[in-house]
C-alpha cells in the first residue's frame, strides 16, 4: 500500500538492530523514565530520520504541563509522544494522559511508548473526545524484512510525515476491514451473485436472495460485524461512496447526451 523510499529501508537496516539491543539492555536494567526519553529521542532521530535539534522538542507546554516529546516540522506539531519508563507496561491511564495532551492542543496524532512498545493513536474530535488505535508494534519483535513491519515503522518516520503516511494508512484501514467486507458481502449485488451461482451449480435448488441474506447474518458472519457503532459508521461510509458514484454516473450520462453545438463555417470575405 505504501512504497517506502530506499533511503528509509537503508536507514532501518543500518540502525534498527543497534537500537533493539539498547532497548533490550535498558529493559534488563530497568532504567528510569528520563533515560527512556533519551533513548526514544535517539530512535526518532537515527531510526525514524528526524533532526534531533530542530524537529524534536520536549518543551511543548500544554495547559501548564509539558508532554514528553513532540515532533515539530516547520513550526507545526505533527504528533505528540508520551513516554513511560521501559519497565512499565503501558495502560489506559497512560493513554488517557497522552490523549488529553493531544485533545487540549488540537493535535490529531499521539504516540504512547516505553521505547519497546509503540502505539499510534488518532484522536476523534467530537462530544465526547474519542480515539482509535491506528498501529502498534514491539520494537524488539520487528523484522526489517517484513513489509507490514516496515510500514508500521514508516508511519512514524520523517519521510512518512512528508507523504501523509498516517492519514493514508488510516484511510486504508478504515476501508479494508472486516466491517466493510461484511457489509459488501451482505449487499444485494453480492447475494444476487451467490444465488445465481447456486442455481447454476444446483438447478433443482429453489432459493431466493432473502434466504441467502438470512444465512449470512445468522450462520456465517459474526455478530460483531453486523451490529454496533462500527457497523453503523461503515454503512454510512458505504452509503456516501454509493451516492458519490451515482452522482458521477448522472453527470457523465448528462454530459454524454448533451447535444453538441452546431458547427458554424465562416467563409472568407
Q: What is the pLDDT of residue 64?
A: 52
CA distance 240 to 139: 38
pLDDT for 23 equals 97
Rounded to the nearest angstrom, the gap between the alpha carbon of residue 66 and the centroid of all alpha carbons in its chain is 27
Crossing angle for the helix pair 6-29 and 147-154, to the nearest 10 degrees: 80
Q: Per the structure block, which three cell numbers stand in for 238? A: 458505504
pLDDT recorded at residue 141: 96
CATH topology for 6-165?
tt1808, chain A (3.90.1570)
pLDDT, averaged per 10 consecutive residues of the chain (269 residues), comes to: 87 97 96 95 97 85 67 90 93 79 83 95 82 91 93 94 82 74 87 90 88 89 83 78 79 71 54
pLDDT at residue 264 in the model: 55
CATH 3.90.1570 residue window(s) in the chain: 6-165
Number of Cα atoms under 13 Å in the Cβ half of residue 102: 27
Note the pLDDT of residue 269: 43
| Backbone φ and ψ of 158, nearest 5° | -60, -40
Note the pLDDT of residue 238.
Answer: 75
Q: What per-residue confidence (pLDDT) applies to 63?
A: 53
Q: What does the pLDDT read at residue 42? A: 97
Amino acid at each position: 500500500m505504501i512504497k517506502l523510499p530506499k533511503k528509509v529501508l537503508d536507514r532501518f537496516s543500518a540502525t534498527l538492530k543497534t537500537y533493539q539491543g539498547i532497548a533490550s539492555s535498558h529493559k534488563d536494567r530497568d532504567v528510569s523514565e528520563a533515560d527512556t526519553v533519551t533513548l526514544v529521542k535517539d530512535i526518532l532521530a537515527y531510526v525514524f530520520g528526524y533532526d534531533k535539534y530542530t524537529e524534536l522538542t520536549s518543551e511543548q507546554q500544554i495547559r501548564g504541563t509539558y508532554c514528553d516529546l513532540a515532533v515539530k516540522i516547520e513550526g507545526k506539531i505533527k504528533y505528540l509522544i508520551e513516554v513511560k519508563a521501559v519497565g512499565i507496561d503501558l495502560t489506559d491511564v497512560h493513554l488517557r494522559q497522552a490523549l488529553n495532551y493531544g485533545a487540549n492542543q488540537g493535535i490529531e496524532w499521539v504516540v504512547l511508548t516505553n521505547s519497546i512498545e509503540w502505539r499510534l493513536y488518532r484522536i476523534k474530535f467530537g462530544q465526547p473526545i474519542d480515539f482509535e488505535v491506528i498501529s502498534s508494534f514491539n520494537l524488539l519483535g520487528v523484522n526489517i524484512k517484513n513489509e507490514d513491519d516496515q510500514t508500521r515503522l514508516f508511519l512514524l518516520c520523517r519521510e512518512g510525515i512528508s507523504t501523509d503516511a498516517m492519514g493514508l494508512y488510516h484511510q486504508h484501514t478504515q476501508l479494508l476491514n472486516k466491517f466493510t467486507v461484511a457489509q459488501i458481502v451482505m449487499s444485494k449485488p453480492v447475494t444476487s451473485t451467490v444465488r445465481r451461482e447456486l442455481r447454476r451449480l444446483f438447478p433443482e435448488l429453489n432459493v431466493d436472495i432473502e434466504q441467502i441474506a438470512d444465512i449470512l447474518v445468522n450462520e456465517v458472519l459474526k455478530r460483531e460485524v453486523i451490529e454496533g457503532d462500527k457497523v453503523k459508521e461503515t454503512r454510512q461510509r458505504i452509503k456516501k461512496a454509493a451516492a458519490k458514484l451515482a452522482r458521477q454516473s448522472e453527470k457523465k450520462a448528462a454530459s454524454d447526451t448533451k447535444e453538441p453545438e452546431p458547427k458554424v463555417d465562416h467563409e472568407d470575405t
